[in-house]
């Protein structure tokens, strides 16, 4: 066979193999979890990819499958109206099922507030949250999203003066104070605008 | 003449419907044992403070003293539309929603459920936003 053709085939093969290895080798531990969510979100919106995440999706990353699926579940309307009245309806994959279940059992003391619901709504939302919860194995974890390992890893660089002592933010639980697209489920760093400080650029 | 009446009643539908919504809620409270409702009593209950878990709590903590004003959730900062039906026509149209929030907020504010009398008094006051 033609030598040029052979070289060309070998080159294409090598290139494909390299891309596959590159996509697969980008490991993501707990610290990068949120970044993974952001990347998948970008992919979901057909926007320009970051960190080769779309490649992970292309080559069948398990996490890429089903991302954002909770939004299309009919129960998400109930979740939004019953649990989004005082704060944003936090994406279910921010906590493991056990944590959500603890929350749903104690709605009468919901971080100092009363968020009680009737039995039917409680059961529906509990099942919904469990279905789309953080599936990674965790021995035991906090019930507060802001105290989870992944959350702290994502926000440990933010100075206290920009959050707790900032009247425009006040608490990390107020995602939408800084994450301008939190309502659409996007927490991408590039959309962050901290009140009184502007963009957050690493 | 007929046309005028028809148009007027159509225009008044939201107002009439709302009056009907609140009236049906009040009817429910009456059948649960409430007597005459008083906006003045409702107003006093609205502004009364309780100390629970070392915290001062009142309806006005989130809703402000003036039901015609927008409020804010004391912890999350989430804006709350005015409670007064006179400025916010969507209020009290959903009986289940009314009961849900009475349950949550009376329990938080007073550490107990509101009685049918208290609910009726509060709604009477919130209907007009004035005594």
What is the distance in angstroms between the Cα of A111 and the nearest Cα belonging to chain B?
A: 10
A114 part of a folded domain: yes
A149 part of a folded domain: no
Q: Give A11-37 pLDDT, tens digit per residue.
A: 887 777 666 665 544 444 444 444 444
- 3-class DSSP state for residue A151? helix
The confidence score (pLDDT) of residue A18 equals 67
A4 part of a folded domain: no
Determine contact, residues A163/A179, Cβ cutoff 8 Å.
Answer: no
| Percent of chain A at pLDDT exceeding 90 | 58
Span of A54-63, A124-133, B106-115 with lowest mean pLDDT: A54-63
Residue with tokens 């070289």: A7
Q: Does B56 touch chain A (CB under 8 A)?
A: no
The residues, any chain, with a CB within 8 Å of residue A18's CB and separated by 6 or more, are none
At B1, the pLDDT band (50, 70, 90 cuts) reads confident
The DSSP code sequence of chain B is -HHHHHHHHHHHHHHHHHHHHHHHHHHHHHHTT--S--HHHHHHHHH--EEETTEEE-THHHH-S-TTS-EE-TTT--EE----TTT-TTTT--HHHHHHHHHHHHHHHHSSPPPHHHHHHHHHHHHHT--
Q: How many other C-beta atoms can be found within 10 angstroms of the C-beta atom of residue A74? A: 8
Q: Does A115 touch chain B (CB under 8 A)?
A: yes
Distance CA B97, CA B5 (A): 33
Distance CA B81, CA B90 (A): 10
Question: B77 vs A174: CB contact, 8 Å cut-off?
Answer: yes
A47 part of a folded domain: no
Distance CA A31, CA A153 (A): 5
Distance CA B70, CA A26 (A): 49
DSSP bridge partners of A110: A113
Q: Does B76 touch chain A (CB under 8 A)?
A: yes
A156 part of a folded domain: no
Number of domains in chain A: 1
Count of alpha carbons within 13 angstroms of residue A73, beta-carbon side: 20
How many CB pairs lie under 8 A apart between chains A and B? 35
A138 part of a folded domain: no
Q: Give A77-95 pLDDT, tens digit per residue.
A: 999 999 999 999 999 999 9
Chain B, nearest residue to A109 by Cα? B108
For residue A88, the enclosing domain spans 69-131
A77 part of a folded domain: yes
A95 part of a folded domain: yes
CA A82 to chain centre: 21
- 3-class DSSP state for residue A134? strand
Highest mean pLDDT among A63-67, B75-79, B127-131: B75-79
The confidence score (pLDDT) of residue B131 equals 47
Picking from B54, B83, B104 by the largest number of A CB atoms within 10 A of its own CB, the best residue to mutate is: B104
Picking from B54, B108, B110, B113 by the largest number of A CB atoms within 10 A of its own CB, the best residue to mutate is: B108
């Amino acid at each position: 066979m033609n030598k040029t053709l052979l070289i060309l085939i070998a080159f294409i093969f090598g290139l494909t193999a390299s891309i596959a290895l590159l996509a697969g080798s980008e490991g993501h531990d707990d610290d990068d979890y949120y970044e993974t969510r952001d990347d998948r979100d970008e992919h979901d919106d057909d926007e320009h990819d970051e960190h080769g995440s779309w490649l992970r999706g292309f080559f069948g990353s398990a996490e890429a499958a089903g991302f954002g699926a909770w939004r299309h579940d009919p129960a998400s309307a109930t979740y939004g109206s019953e649990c989004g009245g005082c704060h944003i309806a936090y994406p279910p994959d921010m906590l493991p099922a056990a944590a959500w279940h603890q929350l749903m059992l104690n709605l009468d003391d919901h971080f100092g507030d009363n968020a009680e619901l009737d039995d039917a709504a409680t059961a529906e939302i509990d099942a919904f949250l469990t279905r789309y919860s953080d599936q990674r194995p965790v021995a035991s974890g906090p019930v507060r999203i802001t105290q989870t390992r992944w959350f702290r890893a994502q926000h440990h660089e933010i100075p206290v003066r920009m959050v707790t002592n900032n009247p425009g933010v006040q608490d990390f639980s107020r995602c939408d104070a800084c994450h301008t697209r939190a309502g659409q489920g996007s927490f991408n760093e590039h959309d962050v605008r901290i009140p009184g400080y502007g963009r957050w650029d690493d | 003449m007929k046309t005028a009446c028809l148009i007027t009643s159509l225009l008044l539908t939201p107002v009439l419907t709302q009056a009907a919504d609140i009236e049906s809620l009040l009817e429910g409270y009456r059948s649960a044992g409430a007597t005459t409702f008083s906006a003045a009593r409702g107003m006093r209950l609205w502004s009364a403070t309780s100390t629970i878990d070392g915290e001062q709590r009142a309806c006005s903590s989130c809703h402000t003293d003036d039901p015609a004003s927008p409020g804010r959730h004391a912890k999350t900062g989430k804006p709350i539309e005015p409670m007064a039906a006179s400025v916010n026509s969507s209020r009290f149209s959903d009986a289940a929603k009314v009961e849900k929030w009475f349950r949550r907020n009376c329990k938080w504010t007073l550490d107990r459920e509101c009685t049918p009398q208290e609910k009726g008094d509060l709604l009477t006051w919130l209907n007009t936003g004035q005594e």
